[in-house]
């Protein structure tokens, strides 16, 4: 096991802090770190893709689990056991040639299985499939006493761990229920919406005929075009949809991985450096105009459809030295006017937002701190160095909380503790369970201290 002292940040590159990093190669080594922890505690870390400080621990220990990365065989029922350090992009490359897909595929493949469970990540088909942890049939959890427990769905500990941000213990492995697919291709439809009302209407008009759906919103557009966007929907392609030249590559891992430098449809390459209002507005205009007004039946590789953002591995560098703030919030159905107000506020501020993704969520997951709940979710990236950004987002927090909505804790890097308490009614129960299970607070992070979790 290697040990070093390092300065760590999340993917957003804000608020670096220093910790002792342990890189275990076995479960026994991981357990030894927990038993020998110092007074500042320990937090698990995967590939560091959380934009905020959920996997940082100032002055304490960080347990890097990327060395635990074994994938077992798929059983006859379509289940696989894998270590927590396995990345979703690697899992996709291994499973897809066998005709299987992870049960929920979030917007990046560069997160680990452990991170996907600890954040209870939603995918593009949340209305049908829920979040990632809903498809975990068992997980192995290293608790504060240094012992490994098998934790099953339906228990209080499982519900607290799913979305619990690593604060109930270290997820060492999990058994996942998989989805059978016939090809490594997606059949994709794309359409442009003239404004936010048009976009919401197009989202709902098709129902769930195509299970996967998300939209990019132009948050630089104002006036009649406020909230205009590009809606993308998809379904798994069947063998009869494949192009004539596809031959024997129906389930090729080369078609399904996210390693390639594919490019977002209608999205021009972006030079390095900080986006400003003028360059961001121009970029968004070109992207919007470059998208088809309506197109159906386009075939894309699975990886290119789900992990399009991974085509830009250094996108976090585009926001300047101060890094980026990813702000993701959810509002229930019936709160569309609040969504309109927030979008108008962002557009009026002329903040250089080029990444903004709208999704629909279905039934809430049982995790006390799980983010997804029925309604709309909007995620956007903003340069952290924008003047007045903290105050602006605090005001948006208040508006979201007043409407019964919530901000995603797994993405957060700046929310106030009172805002988190107002948004998550299950927080009190989560704290009580943590106090019983881990009275010495073995598991801590910069985020848990900042928000009082």
Whole-number Å distance between alpha carbons of 418 and 403: 16
Q: Which stretches in the chain have pLDDT values below 70?
A: 207, 242-275
Q: E strands along 105-195, which residues?
A: 136-142, 148-151, 170-177, 179-180, 185-193
Radius of gyration, alpha carbons of the chain: 21
pLDDT at residue 262, rounded to an integer: 37
- Tokens, residue 382: 């903003």
Handedness of CA 166, 170, 175, 180 (dihedral sign): positive
Supply φ then ψ for residue 188, to 5 degrees.
-120, 140
Three-state DSSP class for residue 290:
helix
Contact 243, 183 (CB under 8 A): no
The pLDDT, as a whole number, for residue 241 is: 84
C-alpha span between 57 and 68 (Å, rounded) = 20
Count the residues in the chain.
453
Q: What is the DSSP string of 372-383?
A: --SEEEEEEEEE
Element (H, E) at 79: strand 79-83
pLDDT for position 269: 44
Of 51, 168, 9, 159, nearest to 410 (Cα)?
A: 51
């Amino acid at each position: 096991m290697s040990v070093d002292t390092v300065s760590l940040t999340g993917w957003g590159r804000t608020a670096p802090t220093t910790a002792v990093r342990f890189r275990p190669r076995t479960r026994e080594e991981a357990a030894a770190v927990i038993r020998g922890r110092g007074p500042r505690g320990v937090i698990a870390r995967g590939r560091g893709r959380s934009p905020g400080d959920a996997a940082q621990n100032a002055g304490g220990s960080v347990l890097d689990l990327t060395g635990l990365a074994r994938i077992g065989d798929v059983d006859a029922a379509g289940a696989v056991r894998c270590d927590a350090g396995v990345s979703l992009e690697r899992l996709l490359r291994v499973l897809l040639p066998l005709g299987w897909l992870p049960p929920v595929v979030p917007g990046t493949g560069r997160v680990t299985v452990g991170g996907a469970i600890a954040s209870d990540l939603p995918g593009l088909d949340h209305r049908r499939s829920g979040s990632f942890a809903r498809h975990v049939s068992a997980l192995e959890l290293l608790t504060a006493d240094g012992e490994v427990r098998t934790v099953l769905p339906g228990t209080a500990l499982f519900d607290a761990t799913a979305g619990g941000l690593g604060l109930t213990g270290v997820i060492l492995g999990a058994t996942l229920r998989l989805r059978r697919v016939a090809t490594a291709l997606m059949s994709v439809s794309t359409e442009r919406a003239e404004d936010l009302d048009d976009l919401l209407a197009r989202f709902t008009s098709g129902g769930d005929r195509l299970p996967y759906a998300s939209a990019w919103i132009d948050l630089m557009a104002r006036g009649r075009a406020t909230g205009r966007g590009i809606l993308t929907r998809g379904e798994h392609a069947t063998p009869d949809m494949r192009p004539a030249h596809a031959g024997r590559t129906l389930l090729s891992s080369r078609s399904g991985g996210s390693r390639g430098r594919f490019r977002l449809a209608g999205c021009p390459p972006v030079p390095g450096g900080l986006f400003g209002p003028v360059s961001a507005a121009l970029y968004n205009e070109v992207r919007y105009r470059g998208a088809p007004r309506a197109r159906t039946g386009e075939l894309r590789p699975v990886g290119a459809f789900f992990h399009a953002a991974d085509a830009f591995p250094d996108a976090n560098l585009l926001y300047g030295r101060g890094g980026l703030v990813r702000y993701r919030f959810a509002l229930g159905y019936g709160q569309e006017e609040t969504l309109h107000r927030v979008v108008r506020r962002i557009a009026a501020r002329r903040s250089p937002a080029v990444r903004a993704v709208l999704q629909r969520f279905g039934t809430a997951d049982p995790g006390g701190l799980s983010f997804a709940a029925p309604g709309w979710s909007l995620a956007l990236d903003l340069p952290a160095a924008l003047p007045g950004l903290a105050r602006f987002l605090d005001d948006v927090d208040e508006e979201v909380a007043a409407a019964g909505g919530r901000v995603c804790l797994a993405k957060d890097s700046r929310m106030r503790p009172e805002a988190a308490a107002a948004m998550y009614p299950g927080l009190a129960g989560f704290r009580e369970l943590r106090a019983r299970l881990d009275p010495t607070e073995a598991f801590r992070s910069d985020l848990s201290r900042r928000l009082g979790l």
